[in-house]
Chains A and B, each alone.
Chain A
Amino acid sequence: MSGLGLFFAILGAALAALLAGMGSARAVGMAGQAAAGVVTDQPDMFARVLILQLLPGTQGIYGLLIAFVTLLNLGVIGGTPDAGMSLLKGLAYLGACLPMAVVGYFSAIAQAKAAVASIALVSKRPDQFGKSMLFPAMVETYAIFALLISFLALLGVGNIG
């Protein structure tokens, strides 16, 4: 059974990158479709709708970030991983990664829906670009909270014997 701890820890990192990345990929795709539709008629809106399309992409980055910090802590990157890690510690790493993984996935998709609506708003009222960015950003707040909790938890888990 030895090595199972390390397995779960890496599973945590993988899930953070996986779920948050999947969510953002879907989200950016959804927003991209809406953005492309707007650019067909209004090519000069490109820069604005591109920014709106990018907004739900941050969850993927946050997921990457948590995955990276986990792998760094484990020594998988730039060190030697501890194959004898206790099961408790491994599961703790997995738990620490979960907020970012799960919230990352769902918030990205929710944010994409807001971004799609904002793209429609900007296509009709280009002067409202400033406000239109805020609606998707409201959703992102929760991804940021998840990132913060995952990060703080990871630092704490590192101290488990």
Chain B
Amino acid sequence: MSVLPMKRVLIVGMRPDRKKMLEFLQRRGVLEITDKKGAAGEEEDPLFKHIDVSGQKTTFEKNVTLATQALSVLDSVYEGKKDDGGMFAGRKVMSLSDYEDKASVQEEAMSTVYELNALSKRLSEIQADIPKYEQQLEALRPWAGFGEALDFNGTRETKAFVGTLPNEQTQQMILEQLGAQGVDADKVDISIISASTEQTCVMIVSHNKDAKEVEEALRHMSFARPAVSGGIPARMEEDTVKRLSELRKEADETREKIKTYGEKRELVKFAIDFFTLRADKYEVIGSIAQTDKVFVVNGYTTAKEAAKLENDLESRFDCVIEIEDPSPDEEVPVALKNNGFAGPVEGVVSSYSLPGKGEIDPSTVVAIFYYFLFGLMLSDAAYGLIMILGCAFILNKYRATMEAGMRKTMQMFMYCGIGTFFWGAMFGSWFGDLPLVIVRTFFNPEADFSLALWVEPTVEPMAVLGFSFVVGIIHILFGMAVSAYMSIKNGKPMDALFDVGCWYLLLIGAVGIMIGTDMIQGMFGLSFVMPPALGQVFKWMAIIGAIGVVLFTARDDKNIGLRIGKGLYGLYGITSYLSDVLSYSRLLALGLATGVISSVFNSMASMVAAPPVIGVIFFILICVIGHGLNLAINALGAYVHTNRLQYVEFFGKFYNGGGKPFTPFEEHTKYYKVTE
């Protein structure tokens, strides 16, 4: 349970060592570099300058983009085994010597990348062309029997109009329409090439001297030139068909060609990582100050790593290293370090916010309640076992290469599985009521038993609801206790006494009084008599606490009236404690959701179980699908709502966060991890 202490590090190295040393730091990944490139227009130190490497950096980043693109091109057609290991496997470890050997093939890698991208570009051109030709073929179809070129204009003495008229029309109809426009039937010769409900393809020939008149009339009849123009339709169709088959063939060939790059997949992956590393390195080179002879790196490292880092650097390079404690008003980056029990929930804490200045690392207290609350919400022993075994299997199978973040997540769900198993056993839920359903369906319809070690929430929901509230009260009081602890640690014992102590008296007193009332006793089926003396104790605790809250909430205020007023307003805050506690009713509700949905699927399964053999198969099938679905949806619900209880109800009492995460200069690669 701790925030790791940090050290300030100053390294002065020789220019010739610059790249080697930065690469070494990148592989070690324990130093956060804080140097920033001077803002534009800022006056440069005459001696220490920043060099502009944005050109190189951009080139490397472009290479990363190109290589990533090439990989996706390859993957879109590649059918071989991909050997990426899936989401759990993590990056492949590569030794430094292997890396240095491979670095020499970057030329080859990039030419592969260029070739792949060129092929992909050609493929997409072809794929854009094919529909164009298909369209043309479609447009030529109505003109199939036409023996002239589509742009045929007529002879020396005549004018020909080749085109389409709307709707299906006969020669007679066209003549009538022309007549209506004042064109006599003997002035034109009409041949109909094809007619469909949408359009009629025609060639209308007239003498040159009548051409104008005819053209005018046709315009009024919505005459249009053919969508395709050019030569004789039959020949054009032949050409288009040929072109299409050529294109299709080329597309197939291009795809085949891309497939042949399959064995270079690893090389492309390497190129992505290689240029990512270099781009990151150049980012740093551009941000550090350097002279002609030396360069300076400023940063933070954890106290634990500091001495080792100093040793490693000094044994490898000519350099000067200064390590010192950061000054108290510095904003130091935050890294958390916890044991195996609390470490897994660090992700939960950091996705809220890392501890700010003077705050403790809440991981341990979060962990205790996290596994407990998650278990209470999912609460099914069999689901718990599935989670434990599943996570343990994955953790074991990929133990060598799994990334730290994924490992912690898996461990967290494994511990959550233990909580789920525990509460499932307490509530007697094994795949819901599956054991009972199986016995009733296949053996004895009259059977009735309960596997619950404590109570069944569906039978006695009020008992579990009361228990949920008790859990909530403990959780909230615990959060307040942590707040008091932090106040004392930071030298403000008065805050602990007034802001937490008074509320403790008030809340515990209030809960005590409420337990004594008939209403609460009736609600939760309690049946003990509160001894009058104890009742008096609770009463006075509440009164003293309330007076304390009124008097001391605004204790810095000089004006007595204002101070009491603010105190009264502070007392009103008790409603928020009430709603906080009520919020824990979700513990019961989500538990019920798991249990009842399980029994929905179980009873669906039992309805189809009647016919022998087939019935059993359907029974098992429905159970597997149903419980798979139920586990997925309710594990998601339990995860989200456990986070909510931690973030809102629990952190609200003591934790603000706001710490800046420790982001060491390291390998942000996707596929390979280069190690010393």
Contacts and interface: CB of A to CB of B under 8 A. Distances in A.
B600 A130 contact: no
Contact of A54 (B582, B592, B636): B636
Most buried by A among B589, B593, B644: B589
A122 interface: no
Interface stretch (A3-11, A32-40, A64-72, A90-98): A64-72
Given A65-B600, A68-B600, A151-B461, A144 B586 contact: yes
Contacts of B585: 144-145, 148
Interface string A117-161: 000000000001111011001101100110110011001000000
A140 B645 CA distance: 13
B461 A152 contact: yes
A133 B643 contact: yes
Nearest to B457: A151
Contacts of A147: 589, 592-593
A68 B596 contact: yes
Interface of B is mostly: helix
A140 B648 CA distance: 14
Contact of B633 (A61, A78, A134): A61
A130 B643 contact: yes
A55 B636 CA distance: 8
B351 A129 contact: yes
A134 B461 contact: no
Nearest to A67: B600
B647 A151 contact: no
Contacts of A65: 592-593, 596-597, 600
A148 B589 contact: yes
Interface string B306-348: 0000000000000000000000000000000000000000011
A62 B588 CA distance: 13
A131 B352 contact: yes
B520 interface: no
B640 interface: yes
Contacts of A148: 465, 585-586, 588-589, 592
A129 B636 CA distance: 14
Interface residues on A, range: 20 to 34
Contacts of A144: 585-586, 589-590, 641
Interface in B584-635: 585-586, 588-590, 592-593, 596-597, 600, 603, 633
Contacts of B590: 144
Interface in B559-597: 582-583, 585-586, 588-590, 592-593, 596-597
A64 B592 CA distance: 13
B596 A130 contact: no
Contacts of B593: 58, 61-62, 65, 147
Contacts, number: 75
B3 to A, nearest CB: 19
A148 B462 CA distance: 11
Contacts of A54: 633, 636
Nearest to B353: A131
A131 B461 contact: no
A83 interface: no
Contacts of B586: 141, 144, 148
Contacts of B644: 134, 137-138, 141
B579 to A, nearest CB: 10
Nearest to B585: A148
Nearest to A66: B596
A51 to B, nearest CB: 6
A77 B643 contact: no
Contacts of B461: 151-152, 155
A103 to B, nearest CB: 12
B641 A61 contact: no
Contacts of A77: 603
A96 B641 CA distance: 25
Given A141-B583, A144-B585, A134 B643 contact: yes
A47 to B, nearest CB: 9
Interface string A90-119: 000000000000000000000000000000
Most buried by B among A55, A69, A78, A130: A130
Contacts of A62: 593
Contacts of A138: 644, 648
A151 B603 CA distance: 19
B356 interface: no
A57 B596 CA distance: 17
Contacts of B589: 144-145, 147-148, 151
B633 A64 contact: no
B641 to A, nearest CB: 6
Contact of A58 (B462, B588, B637, B648): B637
Interface string A65-90: 10011000000011000000000000
A130 B348 contact: yes
Interface in B52-96: none
A129 B583 CA distance: 23
Contacts of A130: 347-348, 351-352, 643
19 contacts: A54-B636, A64-B600, A65-B593, A65-B597, A130-B351, A134-B640, A137-B641, A138-B644, A140-B640, A141-B583, A144-B585, A145-B585, A147-B593, A148-B586, A148-B588, A148-B592, A151-B592, A152-B461, A152-B462
Interface of B: 347-348, 351-352, 461-462, 465, 582-583, 585-586, 588-590, 592-593, 596-597, 600, 603, 633, 636-637, 640-641, 643-644, 647-648
Interface of A: 51, 54-55, 57-58, 61-62, 64-65, 68-69, 77-78, 128-131, 133-134, 137-138, 140-141, 144-145, 147-148, 151-152, 155
Given A58-B637, A78-B603, 4 more contacts: A51-B636, A68-B600, A130-B352, A145-B589
